[in-house]
Structure 1
Amino acid sequence: MADPIEVPFTRLDVEIPDYKKSDGTKVSQPFSIANHELFRRDTLKSAGEGDGERTDYFKHHLVRIFEATGEPVPYRFIDHHGRKRSMDGGCLKFVGPDGQNVAEFEYENGYIIAVAPKPALLALYSDLSSVATDIEAILQSELIPTEQKQLIDARIGQGKFRTSVMSRWENRCAVTSCDLAAIVRASHILPWRKASNAQRLDPENGLPLVATLDALFDAGLVWFNDRGEMLISQSVLDNQHDVIGKKRTLARQPGERMRQYLAAHRRTYGFEH
């Protein structure tokens, strides 16, 4: 069947790994290799709500492509291996305006030709997610203004979240005991993009750290075991350890809930399996 409009395949130098289920089996690809039909918004059909690992894969790689190119992702494209790809109709429906509404469609004569993730989706799946992106996602949420303000304050390490985190550690860095407020930050243990709103506001999911340690911890280059002992990634060379300092243990042992957050932080960065 001939295409109703001319939509070429855009060459993208982005590698898309084949999708496999968690049990290792191959299934139809969310970025299809076999079917390249064009879709109109009203012809997208799929059962269910789109919650699952296949849709998560689609969302993740939609964001990856968008960030790699800086442009809305073409519905049709050629991948890193020279294969022609297009987007699965069900996945499009799940992320689109008639589904979870986390992506915007671009149209030509009523046919979908490109897809752009919205801030809420970028905040969840972006490797480059910024504070500004996360705040925009909060402002676009359906939360009431007081809840939005609480989350925005928590995202920038201020407000009730900071006050509660700091008070638990006597208004000092949890490692160095520095009490210079201007350089001590209330850092989330479980990364923002992986936390629920309740976890984002939980002071047990926070550590007060001086700016250098905060940056290293946030990047997953240092982490803490259940006893509060700091461990350092091999990516940090021995001659760079001076920036961390000599004291490398939390000032007090973490409680049970904080240990759960610390374990989740380690898993996030591949240090606990």
Structure 2
Amino acid sequence: MTLPNEVLLALRPTHSPPVRQLIEQAGVDVSGWAVDKNGEEIPNPNTNTYKNSQWTFGGSGEPIVVCVWWKDLAVKGDHLSHDGSSKGYSKDLGNALAAPDRTSSEAQRLRGKIVKAHAFDRAVYEASSKELPLRMVVLDGETPDEEDSAQVSARASKRLLDDADWYAHTYDPFSGNYELVRGIPPVHAPPPDPFGGAEDPAEDPAFQQFLADAPLSETEKDALIKARVGQGWFRDVLVKRWRGCAVTNCTDSALLIASHILPWRLCTTRVERLGVSNGLLLAPHIDKAFDIGLISFDDAFRILISEKMRKGDEIALNIHPGMTLKSREHSDIRPFLKRHREEIFQAPARVLTTR
């Protein structure tokens, strides 16, 4: 019987076959590698830079293949494991992207990594929810320190396709934490999808790649996401929960906007992107002021008005210190309101006196 430590050593790559060759060996259709992301033909598909740089392949009826660094594999008892957190990594990348001195090339590199991290999360989610095996491409090479992730991309100099199946033993849709185990199928049924298969733009690779590449500001990208998310399942559950604007007396849902408390671009799991606890149904002027951080709400659901909001605009828009979120029952929104105050709200708040 081969010991786990011996298996781990045997999985350290010593050669560098083309990524395309390994993906094809895993059973994934690689015909699309013959053209680049702009539709131009590539004489040698093995040199498709865009495809070679992805972290996941297949899925949706094809075998699921994930790329993992050898250094991130670990022996646990009698088996090999790979543990991670898609939320933690994506959040770190998002924080790096938000740095004020970020150059355009650094921002594009970070957005690309965020897209790939979301795709990795989708792959693990699919394997967990459908009880499917994963194939693993093990990589060895140079990986940048976390603080250098905006300036440097990882470089895999050696790689191999593990001949064993891996399985998602755990996947938490709230935290993004997961554990992949080599060769041992899970013995428990996966938890049901709390969102009933609702469409999530983060699960559309084409849309995600468009957002990463498009020469648009973060505000413009947020507007595109809001327009898409705000027409489906997320909007429906907010309409049902709030039964009108969460702040004003407007009850015509056709006039209201489904708004994320923590912006979609900062969300890293399906729970954050689709969960009703991260949403408010708002009149357009309240939504805009909330989106750009001119207003927020405290833990008692009372409005906070930024000092950066002009007094005349407050009066014109009828935004005033007496405003609150209508329902006090939805305590599950407090963690998201806290993050909104910390990451979006343009503090400090004006000292408020009711009129």
TM-score using structure 2 length: 0.39
Give 1 or 2 for the bigger CA radius of gyration.
2
